[in-house]
Structures are given as structure tokens and as C-alpha cells.
């Protein structure tokens, strides 16, 4: 965990189990792969080429090909991991695909191919933060949901920095309707998408801002973000902007990146999702 120098609060980094030097978005998920693709990924391993995949199978190893995650499959995962989610929230999750497809056809914020995997690569990935908080920070999870002793407490304020089209902020705002989310991006067209999707989902707990983090006058409890930049760039942007910590989604081998950010020893905690 990375400590906030001002108050020694933690920064949590949720990373993926991707081999060193391999960019996670270079992996091709699904059944329509081609030999020249950059990689193949299954549930038990990763392969850089068709030849290495064939060798893996030749040794008698099993391979599970991951197909497109349908909404029904997504719904089952959410009900299993987050049984407290209401029917209204599930309805909002269901509406996301239509809204993102519509706005993505006007302003491209998700690749044309990746939009078919919206629930796996974007919504479920964003909710990895919720899963982490629920497992490792249950009091914060209850506070985000406004439950128990936190029902009368002030809502937690969350900044999603570099939100793009609204990830991870929009799925998290659906998950935590009693928390206040500010979705910030310096690129105006991306904020248009985040704004319109939030309106389409009737998210009253979301504010969108077209600005750089340094210009924001507020201080937040937590900052969330998803692979916006390297940590040594990111940390100066959010200096003085949070009190409780950062939850940062990042893929790949983070060892060198954490070291280059010159953060206090032992102050970063990583968790594979």
C-alpha cells in the first residue's frame, strides 16, 4: 500500500495477473482469434503465439477458451459476488450496453471490437475495485453503501481521474448510489460520453468535469482510476486531492513501476483481479 505522506493513508493498486512485458489489451479474448494475434489467454495461462499454445496443448494441458461475456452471465456473477445489489441497480447495469453502444457510435471511447466485451473488459473490471473493498475494507464498503452505522454519516466523496467514457466511475456509482462521484477527464469528448451515459442511467450521485486534476478545488476521500498513466506521473496529479487513499486498476508487472515512483517502502499493496 502506498501511504499518503500527509496522513499515512493507503494507496491500493488492483492489478491483473499478466506476464511481465505483456500489455493486457494485447490479449485476444474469445473464439475468433487468428494466428497473427498478439496473444491468447485462457483461465490457466497466457501464450504469446499459436506455436506456444499448441505446445502447451501437446503436453496434455487443458485450455479454456473464454467467449464473450453476455449480460446474463454478468448478472449471475454480480448476484453471486454482490447479493445485496438491488433489482434497480441490475436494471442500470443492463442499460449500460445500449447506452455505450449508442454513444460509442458517435464518439469513440471504446474500441469497436472491445465494445462487444463491455461487461467483461470494462464494467466487471471496474467493479474489481468494489470486490477489493468488500473483501479487504468492509467498513469502507458499508460506508460507501451508507449502511449500518454509516446510514446517517456524510457520504464518501470519490474522484475518478481520467475517467474516459466513465470507467471505473460509472459502474461504481451504480454499485454505490449513496456515495458521491466526480468523474474527471481533460478530454472534452470523453466527458460528453460519461455525462450522457450517467444521465441515461439516472445517476444522481455523479458529477462530470472536463478539467485536469490539478485544477480541481475539492478534496476527496478516495481517488479511483484505471491505467491512466504510470504511478510516477499519477501521484503528483493527485497530491493533496485525497484524504483516505487511492484505488488504482493497473495491469502487468508493477514491480518496476512502483519502484520508479519512489513511494515509501512497503506502502503499496497489490491484489490480482
Please give the angle made by the CA atoms of 156, 190 and 203, to the nearest 5 degrees.
40
pLDDT, tens digit (0-9, with 9 covering 90-100), for 86-126: 999 999 999 999 999 999 999 999 987 789 999 999 999 99
What is residue 198's predicted lDDT score, i.e. its pLDDT? 98
What distances in angstroms separate CA 133 from CA 92, 181, 228, one per listed residue?
21, 16, 21
Chain position carrying cell 446510514: 151
For residue 16 the three cell numbers come to: 491483473
Considering the entire predicted model, what is its pTM? 0.78
**47-80, pLDDT tens digit by residue?**
555 666 667 666 766 555 556 899 999 999 999 9
3-class DSSP state of 231: helix
Among 30, 22, 27, 31, residue whose Cα is nearest residue 40: 27
- Per-residue pLDDT tens over the stretch 224-265: 999 899 899 999 999 999 999 999 998 888 888 888 888 887
In this predicted structure, what is the pLDDT of residue 92? Answer: 98
User: What is 66-93 written as a DSSP string?
Assistant: -----HHHHHHHHHHH-TT--HHHHHHH
Q: Which three cell numbers stand for residue 189?
A: 469528448
| pLDDT given for residue 66 in this prediction | 56
The total of other beta-carbon atoms located within 10 Å of residue 223's CB is 23
Amino acid at each position: 500500500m502506498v501511504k499518503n505522506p500527509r496522513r499515512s493513508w493507503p494507496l491500493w493498486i488492483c492489478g491483473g495477473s499478466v506476464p511481465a512485458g505483456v500489455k493486457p489489451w494485447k490479449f485476444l479474448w474469445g473464439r475468433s482469434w487468428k494466428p497473427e494475434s498478439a496473444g491468447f489467454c485462457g483461465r490457466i495461462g497466457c501464450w504469446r503465439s499459436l506455436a506456444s499454445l499448441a505446445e502447451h496443448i501437446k503436453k496434455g494441458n487443458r485450455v479454456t477458451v473464454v467467449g464473450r461475456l453476455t449480460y446474463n452471465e454478468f448478472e449471475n456473477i454480480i448476484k453471486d459476488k454482490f447479493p445485496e445489489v438491488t433489482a434497480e441497480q441490475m436494471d442500470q447495469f443492463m442499460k449500460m450496453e445500449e447506452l455505450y453502444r449508442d454513444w460509442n457510435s458517435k464518439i469513440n471511447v471504446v474500441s469497436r471490437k472491445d465494445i462487444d466485451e463491455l461487461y467483461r473488459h470494462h464494467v466487471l473490471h471496474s467493479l474489481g475495485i468494489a470486490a477489493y473493498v468488500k473483501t479487504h475494507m468492509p467498513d469502507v464498503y458499508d460506508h460507501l453503501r451508507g449502511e449500518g452505522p454509516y446510514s446517517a454519516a456524510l457520504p464518501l466523496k470519490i474522484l475518478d481521474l481520467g475517467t474516459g467514457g466513465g470507467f471505473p466511475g460509472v459502474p461504481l456509482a451504480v454499485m454505490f448510489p449513496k456515495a458521491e462521484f466526480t468523474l474527471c477527464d481533460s478530454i472534452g469528448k470523453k466527458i460528453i460520453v460519461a455525462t450522457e451515459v450517467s444521465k441515461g442511467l439516472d445517476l444522481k450521485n455523479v458529477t462530470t468535469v472536463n478539467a485536469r486534476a490539478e485544477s480541481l478545488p475539492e478534496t476527496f476521500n478516495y481517488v479511483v482510476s484505471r491505467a491512466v498513466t504510470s504511478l510516477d506521473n499519477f501521484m503528483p496529479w493527485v497530491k493533496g486531492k485525497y484524504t483516505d487513499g487511492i484505488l488504482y486498476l493497473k495491469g502487468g508487472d508493477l514491480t518496476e513501476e512502483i519502484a520508479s515512483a519512489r513511494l515509501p517502502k512497503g506502502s503499496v499493496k497489490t491484489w490480482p483481479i
